[in-house]
Amino acid sequence: MGLTLTEKILKAHLVDGEFVKGSEIGIRIDQTLTQDATGTMAYLEYEAMGVPRVKTEKSVAYIDHNTLQSGFENADDHRFIGSVCKKHGVYFSRPGNGICHQVHLERFGIPGKTLIGSDSHTPTGGGIGMIAIGAGGLDVAVAMGGGAYYITYPQIVKVNLTGKLSDWVSAKDVILEVLRRISVKGGVGKVMEYCGEGVKTLSVPERATITNMGAELGATTSIFPSDEVTKAFLKAQDRGDVWTELKADDDAVYDEVIDIDLGALVPQAACPHSPDNVKNMDEIGKLKIDQVCIGSCTNSSYVDMMKVAYILKGKTVDPSVSLAIAPGSKQVLNMLASNGALATMIDAGARILESACGPCIGMGQAPNSGGVSLRTFNRNFLGRSGTKDGQIYLVSPETAAASALTGYLTDPRTLGEMPKIEVPEQFKINDNMVVAPASVEEMDSVEVLRGPNIKPYPETAPLVESIACQVSLKVGDNITTDHIMPAGAKILPLRSNIPAISQHCFTVCDEDFPRRAKNMGKSIIVGGTNYGQGSSREHAALAPLYLGIKAVLVKSFARIHRANLINAGILPLTFVNEADYDKISQGDEIAIDNVRADIEAGKTQLTVKNKTTGSEIPVLCELTGRTKDIILAGGLLDYTREQLSK
């Protein structure tokens, strides 16, 4: 029986477990990436493990999220990350060099290698045939220390592409179509493997848009084959030597097949407030807009930007619209500056932002009250833009630029003939913003520089004998990590200070939650399906840990968040019968007796007693050997320390 591409790469990296669907496997990690908003914590965790030099083939730290230095905090974090990387063998991509996923694809990714990153959009690397997975910072720290990364052996979905995109229809419309069909939880436990005749019609940046936003499906990752198109892209980056051909066997067996005729797709938009709320232009109808933002790790490649410049050429942005553009990397920005496209954008009235995440994570450019904003980004969760009643639509760069000129959501197919904009044969290469680490001889003399906002990892303790506490919060379905631990310009500077950031935990849903939970001392949270979807931020587990959350009981979890809860020593529980969700309310007193003994004994079904109502609720606590030991130890940090001391 033939193998899928995913299986080939996973098999070549397997270090623990067996290839049985649904069971846990450990894989060797070749490369890691971090970004600054998750990086400070990840490197504090790395330091706590006491491994002098990273053991990966290449680890890179990017500064791209918190570049709005409204106070000393972010600058201190950046200085810390720069120095800690220098000491321990990590390459440091300085602020200004660009968004981690864009730069990693351009300069460091290698087909067939494994990459984990402390950012959920790490699967961008699947655009050149990597197994690239988003993970919590602690998992990345462990991988840098040479430890395996654990995932559930996934279901593998064949996304069979046929035909060719019509003029003005974009790679963004492909991933929006997948989201429309299978929803934000349709990819949980799965890898989306793109195959078929249509693949060769898509350039690497187009493929990367698709694998990037595959994160919104909840998928473990997404991957394209590495073919002649990949070779040409890497060659144009002066990296032709790292190319290898990689594809699935012809007789590979998949768990599911999704067929997409690229030629049948039309421009679409994800409507507020979920990336899977996808409609075509006719369904949305006439929509007046206030703002357009172009950029982010999904759509800020050179080709995307050149299309935007073409559309804007000689025109003026509608007076009622603010257009902001953030090219994805220094390479892209530099090439636009050299060939005049940047001047075209400026001339049309675009507000040029630095090459960073910017408005995508609420770092500036919050829309006006109730404002309608079209963005080429990947997430439109409630409040993420910084304006709670902002109405965010996710669209392609072509749709965004066309709309910026008219002031209304505009179908780019009305623009007339489409220009032929190709991936260049040679990109402008200059890695002068990537600082190499100190040599082995020099590393001991490097001083790690810490600022006053950098506080240690919160206190952990081994799992208690029994849990008896109240429900401090009950929430519904599809709760995102942007609900649990909001980001944005005010809160992101607190990422390295868990006591301070925890004061904002869940405030999007309930302003009083942090105070209530802290007063309760210990408590549990109850939620619905797909709890914790979205980002990889472990702060969505560390802040609850700090606030005394002992368990989270939900209908189902998103993958990375569940792993982060386990890493933080918080019990992840799911209802055996989803209807029991109605049997538990905020404020109820609950008990889970002998929880430690039961988990130690390998029991996977426990009972939550609702002492307020008298009902008994069966719940699942599915922990395998390793995750069980992590929970018993009080989290991954304690577990890793225990392992290293052995």
Q: Which is nearer to ligand MIC, 119 or 139 (CB)?
A: 119
Total interface residues for ligand SF4 by CB under 6 A:
11
Q: Let me know: does 641 contact 604? Beta carbons within 8 Å.
A: no
Q: What is the closest distance, in whole angstroms, from the C-beta atom of residue 453 to ligand MIC in the complex?
A: 16
Q: State the pairing for strand pair 372-375/221-223.
A: unpaired
Query: In whole angstroms, how far apart are CA 349 and each of 303, 316, 321, 343?
Result: 20, 6, 10, 10
Closest CA to 129 of 238, 301, 4, 26: 4
From candidates 165, 184, 317, 357, binder to ligand SF4 by CB under 6 A: 357
Please provide residue 60's backbone torsions phi and psi, each rounded to the nearest 5 degrees: -130, 135
Q: Considering only residues 76 through 135, tell me which ones interact with ligand SF4, judged by CB under 6 A.
A: 99, 119, 121
Query: Per-residue contact track with ligand MIC, 59 to 78, x per CB under 6 A?
Result: ------x-------------
Pick what 537 binds: ligand SF4, ligand MIC, none; C-beta below 5 to 8 Å, kind-dependent.
Answer: ligand MIC
Closest CA to 132 of 241, 33, 240, 279: 33
- What CA–CA distance (Å, rounded) separates 337 from 353? 13
CB of 387 to ligand SF4, least distance (A): 16
The distance of closest approach from Cβ of residue 169 to ligand MIC in the complex, given in angstroms and rounded to an integer, is 25
* Alpha-carbon distances, residue 278 vs 116, 270, 398 (angstroms): 29, 4, 17
β-sheet bridge partners, residue 58: 31
296 binds, among ligand SF4, ligand MIC, none (CB under 5 to 8 A by kind): ligand SF4
Which window, 87-95, 127-135, 257-265, 355-363, contacts ligand SF4 (CB under 6 A)? Answer: 355-363
62 forms beta bridges with 35, 93
Q: What is the largest CA-CA distance in the chain?
A: 71
Instruction: Decide: is 360 part of the binding site for ligand SF4 (CB under 6 A).
Output: yes
Count Cβ neighbours within 10 Å for each residue of 321-331 and write b for 16 or more, e otherwise. Answer: bbbbbbbbbbb
Residue 54 or 215 having the CB closest to ligand MIC: 215
Interhelix angle for 330-339 vs 302-312, to 10°?
A: 40
Q: Which entry of ligand SF4, ligand MIC, none binds 342, CB below 5 to 8 A by partner kind?
A: none
| Residue 104 in the binding site for ligand MIC (CB under 6 A) | no
How many angstroms separate the CA atoms of 392 and 351, rounded? 19
Q: Which of 287, 300, 258, 534 is nearest to 396 (CA)?
A: 300
Q: Smallest distance from the beta carbon of 74 to ligand MIC, in angstroms?
A: 12
Tell me which of ligand MIC, ligand SF4, none is bound by residue 536, counting a contact when its beta carbon lies within the kind-specific cut-off of 5 to 8 angstroms. Answer: ligand MIC
CB of 26 to ligand SF4, least distance (A): 26
Residue 365 contacts ligand SF4 per CB under 6 A: no
Q: Which of residues 482-501 bind ligand MIC (CB under 6 A)?
A: 487
Q: Is residue 353 involved in binding ligand SF4 (CB under 6 A)?
A: no
Radius of gyration of the chain (CA): 24
Contact between 570 and ligand SF4 per CB under 6 A = no
142 makes contact, choosing from ligand MIC, ligand SF4, none, with CB < 5 to 8 Å by partner type, with none
Q: 360 vs 374, which CB is nearer to ligand MIC?
A: 360
- Confirm or reject binding of residue 270 to ligand SF4 (CB under 6 A): no
Structure token digits, residue 31: 């490369």
Among ligand MIC, ligand SF4, none, residue 99 binds (CB under 5-8 Å by kind): ligand SF4
Of the candidate spans 21-29, 357-365, 517-525, 628-636, the one that interacts with ligand SF4 by CB under 6 A turns out to be 357-365
Phi, psi of 88 (to 5 degrees): -105, 10
Q: Does 361 bind ligand SF4 (CB under 6 A)?
A: yes
Nearer to ligand SF4, 360 or 463 (CB): 360
> DSSP string spanning 25-91?
EEE--SEEEEEHHHHHHHHHHHHHHT-SS--SSEEEEE--S----SSHHHHHHHHHHHHHHHHHT-E
Q: By CB under 6 A, tell whether 61 contacts ligand SF4.
A: no
> Which residue from 83, 120, 268, 610 is in contact with ligand MIC, where contact means CB under 6 A?
120
Binding site for ligand SF4 (CB under 6 A): 65, 99, 119, 121, 296-297, 357, 360-361, 377-378
Binding site for ligand MIC (CB under 6 A): 37-38, 65, 119-121, 134, 361, 379, 487, 534-537
